[in-house]
Amino acid sequence: MSSPRVRKLKFEHHHNGLGVDTSRPRLSWSFETSPSTASSWVQTRYEVEITLSTGDTEVFTIEGEESVLVPWPSRQLSSRESASVRVRVYGKSLEEDSPSLEPSPWSTAATVETALIETSDFKANFITSAERIGPYGPLRPIRFFKEFTLPPDITIIPRARLYITALGVFEATINGQRVSDEVLAPGWTSYNHRLIYGIHDVTSLLLPGKNNIISVEVAEGWYAGRLGFKGGKRFRYGDELGLFAQLEAQDAAGKVSWDLISDDTWACITSPIVASELYDGEVYDMNHIPPKPLKTRVLPRPSARLLAPDIPPVRVTETISCKRVFTSQSGKTILDFGQNLVGKLFVSGLPTEKDKCITFRHAEVMENGELGTRPLRDAKCRDNIIGSGEALSNWSPKFTFHGFRYVEVEGWPGEGPSPDDVQAVVLHTDMERRGFFECSNPYVNQLHKNIVWSMCGNFLSLPTDCPQRDERLGWTGDLQVFCPTATYLYDTLGILSNWLQDVSAEQLEEGKGGIPPLVCPNAISSNWPHMAQAIWDDVTVLAPDALFQYSSDKDLLERQFESMYAWLEL
């Protein structure tokens, strides 16, 4: 009989080890058994092999049964430093008279790389257009860009990293290639307190000895867009879009040999995206002619802390085909995707007419034979394409999302769309599934599937109440009730511990009296009463407790303790 194999070695709550925001990352692993694995096997000790960026290898032997978030056994890692880690375990069978067992094989090596840990590591500036672009609101997206050539002595790049965030949401490319598959980065946090920056491996995108260009398009997103119901409010965090970008060529040890930072030498232009709002949708003008580039200027540095993400990004997680195209009672063309979903359209091919508008209106239901927009309240949920007379292919809005099953199409030339012309792409925070349920009753099984699907649609950057109307807010009471279920179904430690830090930051603001917000980030009217309330405010205690029950993460409890204590003392 043998010991099980070690698998899924990971650091903190990261799906991969790039950009861990601590110098002593904790380790976790799981086990894979086989028919030869000893029954009633328990771990008694483990060995951690760490190969540092210097090439030095250390092996640490630790007695114990722990395999979740075990302490980092080696020296502290510095900013940008990487290490390769393997683990093997020793154990025994609890059955009487069982022979001693050989250790497991070494696990597959996993690499961890630290983020920018010191404040002095952040060299870049936040920049914006030197001239206001478009109307005061909604703000027109800005495309920032910078052409550059690597120094002549850099002919081989061991590794390159892009550290990037925005006052808004962004999509970045280098030499025309997207730096990642993330959507709506950097997501929504309490921007007055915490701002997440992304860390991307862009080694393969740089061209030594040739001209390069980095381009980043920034839209309103949650930072400057309209938030809240009954009309909501615009510019809750700021009324200027901004970019922070720090591109570095590094050696294998993480030492920076060259960098490019966002500053006032960058330029900016508009793009075909005329407007893009979370509630109201996106307008894309195919007639757009790139104007003369504008200068940029440096913005004051935000008060928020820059933090590397421990939350998985929002991604396209699956594609759903259009099930049918039908006509409403009033003769309008309706696309039916067969189920409710959260995401956006993908149009594979669209003929257009010069200056004619094609409109896509999204809704979850049909009412009285027509698209049911009543539940959307003030959210338009409408994407528009202004045609140029040329065909448009592979188009999808960049900086918005909708909750929908049905899409009303107006202005599609000719005979209108067929099901093969359009798809829906599903968006949510890319969490790992970990809990499953199945029973003999098909109705209960379907209920379970509905719960899973609804959770995914509402876990988009943070846990929200709904994905479709003019709300989509992080209600604390909703999450407090659903947290145990969510944490059973998915690995939510990243997204929920990230959100709880915002709850704590807003609760403990001076003058708030230790009362948590009803929604976090707080984007509801100041007319709402700020008073202690059970259920909603209980999230400060019950959510960390639920997460701890599923993770044994004592650091999370320590981090949230002040928030928990403040609420209990009210």
Q: How far is Cα 418 from Cα 349, in angstroms, rounded to an integer?
A: 10
- Report cis status (omega within 30 of 0) of the bond before 186: yes
Give the residue from 326, 325, 281 showing the smallest Cα distance to 468. 281
Residue 326 sits at φ, ψ, to 5 deg, of -135, 175
Q: Is the pLDDT of residue 371 over 90?
A: yes
In this predicted structure, what is the pLDDT of residue 252? 84
- Token pair 């980043």 is found at 216
In this predicted structure, what is the pLDDT of residue 476? 97
As a whole number, mean pLDDT of residues 317-346 equals: 98
Residue 222 sits at φ, ψ, to 5 deg, of -80, -20
In this predicted structure, what is the pLDDT of residue 419? 97
Asked if 128 and 171 count as a contact pair (C-beta separation under 8 A), the reply is no
Indicate the helix (H) or strand (E) that contains 463.
strand 462-463
Task: Indicate the domain borders of the chain.
Answer: 5-114, 122-311, 315-429, 442-568
Q: Cα 171 from chain centroid?
A: 12
Residue type, 511: G
Question: Quick one: pLDDT band at residue 521, thresholds 50, 70, 90?
Answer: very high
Helix H, strand E, coil C: the string for 333-351 is: EEEEEEEEEEEEEEEEEEC
Q: How far is Cα 197 from Cα 19, in angstroms, rounded to an integer?
A: 10
CATH code of the domain made up of 5-114: 2.60.40.10
Q: How far is Cα 223 from Cα 209, in angstroms, rounded to an integer?
A: 38
Give percent of the chain above pLDDT 90.
Answer: 89
Q: Is the pLDDT of residue 96 over 70?
A: no
Asked if 59 and 106 count as a contact pair (C-beta separation under 8 A), the reply is no
- 41-58 pLDDT, tens digit per residue, is 899 999 999 999 889 999
> DSSP states of 179-190 as a string?
S---SSBT----
Higher pLDDT, 6 or 41: 6
Strands 273-277 and 281-285: antiparallel
Which of 98-107, 331-340, 379-388 shows the lowest mean pLDDT across its residues? 98-107
In this predicted structure, what is the pLDDT of residue 11? 96
Instruction: Output the pTM of the full model.
Output: 0.95
Q: How far is Cα 490 from Cα 467, in angstroms, rounded to an integer?
A: 19
Question: What is the token pair recorded at 224?
Answer: 């400057």
As a whole number, mean pLDDT of residues 264-271 equals: 97
Number of H helices, E strands in the chain: 6, 34
As a whole number, mean pLDDT of residues 297-315 equals: 96
Q: How far is Cα 76 from Cα 197, in angstroms, rounded to an integer?
A: 22
Q: How far is Cα 326 from Cα 416, in angstroms, rounded to an integer?
A: 11
CA atoms within 13 A on the CB side of 376: 23
In this predicted structure, what is the pLDDT of residue 33? 86
CA distances from 148 to 175, 206, 209, 351 (A): 11, 10, 10, 37
Q: Is the pLDDT of residue 511 over 80?
A: no
Q: Is the pLDDT of residue 95 over 90?
A: no
Asked if 278 and 472 count as a contact pair (C-beta separation under 8 A), the reply is yes
In this predicted structure, what is the pLDDT of residue 549? 96
Asked if 164 and 195 count as a contact pair (C-beta separation under 8 A), the reply is no
Q: Is the pLDDT of residue 279 over 70?
A: yes
Fold of 122-311: Jelly Rolls (2.60.120)
The yes or no reply on domain 315-429 and CATH 2.60.120.10 is no
Q: How far is Cα 42 from Cα 3, in angstroms, rounded to an integer?
A: 9
Question: What is the token pair recorded at 36?
Answer: 């030869």
- In whole numbers, what is the pLDDT of the chain averaged over residues? 95
CA distances from 378 to 150, 336, 362, 469 (A): 49, 23, 13, 7
Domains 315-429 and 442-568 share a fold: no
Give the residue from 399, 152, 148, 153 showing the smallest Cα distance to 162. 148
Q: Is the pLDDT of residue 399 over 80?
A: yes
**Longest alpha-carbon distance in the chain:** 84
- 123-182 pLDDT, tens digit per residue, is 999 999 999 887 788 999 999 999 999 999 999 999 999 999 999 999 999 999 999 999
Q: How far is Cα 302 from Cα 280, in angstroms, rounded to an integer?
A: 27
Q: How far is Cα 500 from Cα 495, in angstroms, rounded to an integer?
A: 9
Torsion of CA 549, 552, 558, 563, to 10 degrees: -20
Pick the CATH number of 442-568 from 1.50.10.10, 1.10.357.10, 1.20.1090.10, 3.40.640.10: 1.50.10.10
As a whole number, mean pLDDT of residues 441-452 equals: 98
Q: Is the pLDDT of residue 92 over 90?
A: no
**What is the C-alpha R_g of the chain?**
25
